[in-house]
């Protein structure tokens, strides 16, 4: 691992580069992971809004954002997305927590 030089560090440990959480992979903490069932997704973006990290992958290239799935490197398995995901397709949600086992 290479370190920043002392001269590159900011006073008080402040981080001045935005969006760097993306470089800090914390996905190995979890026990459960949300499973994305695309057919049940109504593209409400609740999961993206509620996710405390940036574990929801969104395609913003079109006129409307499109939910693409879970970024496992950043998902800690808190389950908030699955909790908030509305069961809009015949009572079925697009995100369901499953135990991650090998």
Partner 1 sequence: MEQKLVALSGNEAVAYAFKQAHPHVASAFPITPQTEMMHKYAEFVANGETDTEIILVESEHSAMSAAVGSAAAGARTFTATSSAGFALMWEIVYITASLRLPICMALVNRALSGNINIHCDHSDSMGGRDAGWIQLFSENAQEAYDNAVMAWRIGEHKDVRLPVMVTYDGFIISHTADALRMLPDDVAYKFIGDYKPGYALLDVENPITVGPLDLTDYYFEHKADQIAAYAKAAEVVQSVSEEYGALTGRTYEFCEEYKLDDAEMVMVILGSSAGTAKDVIDEYRAKGVKVGLLKVRMFRPFPAAYIAEKLAGRKAVAVLDRSASFGGFGGPVFTEVRSAMYGRQVPVRGYIYGLGGRDFDLGQVAKVIEDLQKVAAGGKVEDVNLLGVRS
Window 16-55: residues binding partner 1 (CB under 8 A): 16, 18, 20
Pairing of strands 95-99, 56-59: unpaired
Smallest separation (angstroms) from partner 1 to the CB of 76: 14
**Choices 15-23, 29-37, 50-58, 59-67 (CB under 8 A): range interacting with partner 1:** 15-23
- Scanning 7-15, 34-42, 64-72, 92-100 for contacts with partner 1 by CB under 8 A, the matching segment is 7-15
φ and ψ at residue 81, rounded to 5 degrees: -60, -45
Residue with tokens 């697009």: 94
Contact window for partner 1 (CB under 8 A) among 10-18, 37-45, 53-61, 86-94: 10-18
Give the pairing of strands 56-59 and 66-70. antiparallel
Nearest-5° Cα angle at 45, 39 to 47: 85
Q: Rounded to an integer, what distance in angstroms lies between the CA atom of residue 74 and that of residue 65?
A: 20
Q: Does 1 bind partner 1 (CB under 8 A)?
A: yes
Residues near partner 1 (CB under 8 A) are 1, 3-4, 6, 9, 11-16, 18, 20
């Amino acid at each position: 691992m290479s370190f920043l030089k002392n001269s590159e560090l900011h006073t008080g440990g402040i981080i001045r580069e935005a969006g760097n959480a993306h470089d800090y992979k914390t996905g190995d903490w979890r026990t459960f992971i949300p499973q994305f069932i695309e057919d049940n997704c109504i593209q409400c973006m609740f999961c993206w809004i509620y996710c405390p990290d940036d574990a929801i992958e969104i395609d913003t290239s079109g006129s409307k954002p499109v939910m693409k799935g879970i970024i496992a490197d950043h998902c800690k398995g808190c389950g908030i997305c699955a909790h908030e995901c509305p069961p809009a397709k015949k009572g079925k949600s697009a995100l369901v927590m499953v135990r991650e086992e090998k």
